Chains A and B, each alone.
Chain A
Amino acid sequence: MSEALNEQALARYRNDFLKEVEERVEEGEWVKMCMQCGVCAGSCPFGPHWQHSPQKIFMMIRAGKREEVLTSDSMWMCTSCYNCVVRCPRQLPITQIIHGLATYAHRLGLAPRDQPTRHFSRLFWKNCTRAGRVNELKLTLGLYFKDGLVSGIKKAWALRNIGLGMLLAKRLNPFELIRGHECSDKAGIQKMLKKAHELENRRRGFQE
């Protein structure tokens, strides 16, 4: 499915990656407005861990480096702290653009496969939309066990003190595994979200 989407995008935009971003990525129309000052790069808490700063990502988009951008690990380093947004002299919604690019890369199946934040993001959305509310325990366990049972048990063991502390502080409910918080209109929420995905695909020109 995602492969087909990627083919379709490639055919449609040929060499104009900037245009592709403007049409298909949330807040993508702002990319051309970057003035390359680099304040975002210097303001990011995870700055040392980026391969490409937002400044570079924007430049790469203009230079048509589609593959490099969409497979980059960098967008997944965003902690949503919004420091770049409030400091950008051009008032670009950088955090949203970066999220948008990550989302797009994820949809096209180009994002790094084992990227932990990508995995967590997907897990979180599934978790919270299943019953309308987050099941914190399942979310945590889901993260631990992403690489299989043994690795999961190891991680859980390594972090047992945290879980125990939370449990003792009554901030973790073991029964969430069986029955967690839920919305009563789960069905309505599901229908609503299904519609939203449909509409979004139509607006962004995705044909699945």
Chain B
Amino acid sequence: MADMKTAAYICRGCGIGERVDAAQMAKIAEKEGKMNLVRSHEFLCSASGVQMIRDDIEKESVTHAVIAACSRRAKTEAFHFPAIALSRASIREGVIWSQPDTPEARETTQEMADDLVRMACAEVKKMKVPAGNPDVGRNKRILVVGGGVSGMTAAVEAAKAGYEVVLVEKEARLGGWAAKLWKRVPYREPYRDPADTGIDKLAAQVQSDKRIKVHLNSTIARTGGAPGRFTVEVATESGAVAAEEVGAIIQASGFTLYDATRLTEFGYGRSPNIVDQAGLEKLAREAAAKGEPIRRPSDGGEVKTVAFVQCAGQRDATGRHLPYCSGFCCNTSIKQALYFKDANPAVDTVVIYTDLRTPGNGEDFYRSAQAKGVVFTKGKVLSVEPTDKTLTVRFQDLILNEDTAIENVDLVVLATGQVPNSGVNIDLPPEEQEKLEVKPVSILNLAYRQGKDLPQLKWGFADSHFICFPYETRRTGIYAAGPVRRPMDIAQAIEDATGAALKAIQAVENAELGRAAHPRSGDLSFPIVRLEGCTQCKRCTVECPFGAIDEDEKRYPVFNESRCRRCGTCMGACPVRVISFENYSVDTVGSQIKAVDVPDEFSEKPRILVLACENDAYPALDMAGMRRLTYSPFVRVIPVRCLGSVNTIWITDALNSGYDGVMLMGCRHGEDYQCHFVKGSELASYRMGNIDDTLKQLALETERVATYEVAITDIERVPQLINDYAAKIKEIGLSPLKGFG
């Protein structure tokens, strides 16, 4: 610490100088913050202001600086000093813009500003400049699991960008589902007619590319390591195992069509004239090979009427079938109806749907089919009954509100949905796994402490951060692409695979530089554990949302920094507080909490600590400031990387120091989570559920700690939450613990 030289810079611009006493803040930085150097500037982000700081770094050897100006989210280019530790006190957004500009408010406004300076000075002294992650992997090959449209596209795109690819396909040939289709839904103007699949061309492209190595008839026996240094064992047909070293993985393991034999209500299996969409593709290919029209399977009779049953075993509310919409099947039925209409306009084709959903440019395709005479009937199919040679389709007409039937149907096509090939559900307890009818086969066989496959979110689809980062899974460096991620058609799968290839490239490049890929892209900090203090409690290894931490034989945590997202959930979990980041630790936050000047109980000035997620709640507070929405002057806001990183010691320390309340603001959790780190806010809410006992021990009301779900768009709501909470604190009274801390 001998080399630490601290400095504080107080900006007077943007009205700060007029609203608060900058000289007083400077004095606090010097006397209480013990800053070696304190300077004030009328316009700190100007060229001269920035130059002043640069000069100090160079000539005065400043290593740690406080900038008391605007929010840490503003002026990031101007205040970019990567060589020093930096703390920003948000005097503009956090104080003068969020407080009323009135003489009465002047005193409390000044107190806020003073505290923020104290907090920043305390924080910066506990910070270090991150040195970068030692877990550097330099392998830049990309493994693609699955040789369907998604996998092949990802392989070709990565290869085109100059990366070597290893592609593993379990079947004997490339192509996946798409190779079984006769045509695909059109994907370019004018979206009128079914198009060639182009799958042979794509497969040939894969096979002829020198950068792509293909393993057919192969599966993944084991995957270990981390981004930049994955080791993968490929089990080949001969039984031999091929070892491959790769830097990132794209899982494009696709889907299985929902088992139509379960659709007894639509007579599947009772007549060969009832097929699923795959069955119709087969008929179409066979017919095309013979140069004949599609014939009735039962007796080769002429097909005059075809009915398509949409949502067969999908969007099911009874719990027997798939609850979701697979999204591709309406367009597929339109395409298949055109197989008949284009060949012979006299064939009657009826699509019976409840809601026709045609994503992408499917609307044009839908129109084209209508113009060609495909009839669309809004209805719910009640039954499909085989008669002599044909079928009777009974349905409820949802527009005319009557039960009706189509007779003499030669062929019924059931539009069944996609079931993802996502391997083992690692969140299912072993005893539940045992009960499953069909034992899922692992796709990746990950040698991770938390399980063999990608975590799933819902309905078996690999979890992807659906709202913000769709390609991300919860395993860093492993990207899900195509229908394993969510149901989709070929056009979407191609786009998806291209995106996943780019993410994989981003992962290998960042792994080489020892920094985070996502979402704290470029972050050089990483969790450091003091193993000598560790009690092997396993909370970090269990709770890490990204499975980044394994365990050694003695159950000590083994950090794989390249798999880490730097959320700090492990730091929040650790009961003995041995996990920290160089620039973000139990101390950097704890010292801020303690630096706040807590007035005594007679002042009638409560202090409320707000721990705000830096991804959503903190920006929302900033934007509230920009809109000049005012909130209570008694809050002291500290941004945190994620609520998951909040260690309960901060809460107990705050309450012990006489704070009257603590607000935790994180993202929405649960099924439609918005947490950047998936589980962070959920874990925080769970941990805070346990804090009630602590409060009771301290003889405090449970309201003194409150957790909120806040979205970045809650700009008006956040000040309201604060004000309501401040009113609540006023109601229950100031903390009895003041003056004892």
> Does the CB pair A59–B367 fall under 8 Å?
no
| A166 in contact (CB, < 8 A) | no
CA A33 – CA B369 in complex, angstroms?
9
CA A60 – CA B375 in complex, angstroms?
12
> Does the CB pair A63–B397 fall under 8 Å?
yes
> Does the CB pair B399–A32 fall under 8 Å?
no
| A10 in contact (CB, < 8 A) | no
> Does the CB pair B367–A55 fall under 8 Å?
no
CA A35 – CA B351 in complex, angstroms?
12
Q: Which of A18, A33, A35, A60 interacts with B400 by CB under 8 Å?
A: A60
> Does the CB pair A63–B370 fall under 8 Å?
no
> Does the CB pair B373–A59 fall under 8 Å?
no
| A56 in contact (CB, < 8 A) | yes
Residue in A closest to B363 when the chains form the complex, CB atoms: A35
Count contacts on A: residues with CB < 8 A to the other chain. 13
| B303 in contact (CB, < 8 A) | no
> Does the CB pair A33–B404 fall under 8 Å?
no
| B503 in contact (CB, < 8 A) | no
Whether A35 touches B397, Cβ cut-off 8 Å, given contacts A59-B378, A62-B375, is no
A129 to chain B, nearest CB (A): 36
| A90 in contact (CB, < 8 A) | yes
Residue in B closest to A56 when the chains form the complex, CB atoms: B399
CA A64 – CA B306 in complex, angstroms?
17
Residue in A closest to B372 when the chains form the complex, CB atoms: A32
> Does the CB pair B376–A33 fall under 8 Å?
no
User: Chain B: interface residue count, which band?
Assistant: 10 to 19
Among B376, B399, B400, chain A packs the most CB atoms within 10 A around the CB of B399
Residue in B closest to A36 when the chains form the complex, CB atoms: B378
> Does the CB pair A32–B404 fall under 8 Å?
no
CA A58 – CA B367 in complex, angstroms?
15
> Does the CB pair B404–A63 fall under 8 Å?
yes
Whether A36 touches B373, Cβ cut-off 8 Å, given contacts A59-B378, A90-B367, is no
| Residues of chain B with a CB closer than 8 A to A65's CB | 400
> Does the CB pair B375–A59 fall under 8 Å?
no
CA A32 – CA B370 in complex, angstroms?
6
Q: Which of A32, A55, A60 interacts with B371 by CB under 8 Å?
A: A32
> Does the CB pair B371–A33 fall under 8 Å?
yes
Residue in B closest to A19 when the chains form the complex, CB atoms: B373
| Residues of chain A with a CB closer than 8 A to B367's CB | 33, 90
Q: B374-412: contact bitstring with A at CB < 8 Å (1 yes, 0 no)?
A: 011110000000000000000001011000100000000
CA A176 – CA B373 in complex, angstroms?
52
> Does the CB pair B400–A63 fall under 8 Å?
yes
| Residues of chain A with a CB closer than 8 A to B400's CB | 56, 59-60, 63, 65
- The residues in A between 142 and 201 inclusive whose CB is less than 8 angstroms from any CB of B are none
CA A32 – CA B374 in complex, angstroms?
8
> Does the CB pair A33–B378 fall under 8 Å?
no
Q: Apart from A33-B367, A33-B370, A62-B375, what are 12 other A-B pairs with CB-CB below 8 Å? A: A35-B366, A35-B370, A35-B376, A36-B378, A36-B399, A55-B399, A59-B378, A59-B399, A59-B400, A63-B397, A65-B400, A90-B367
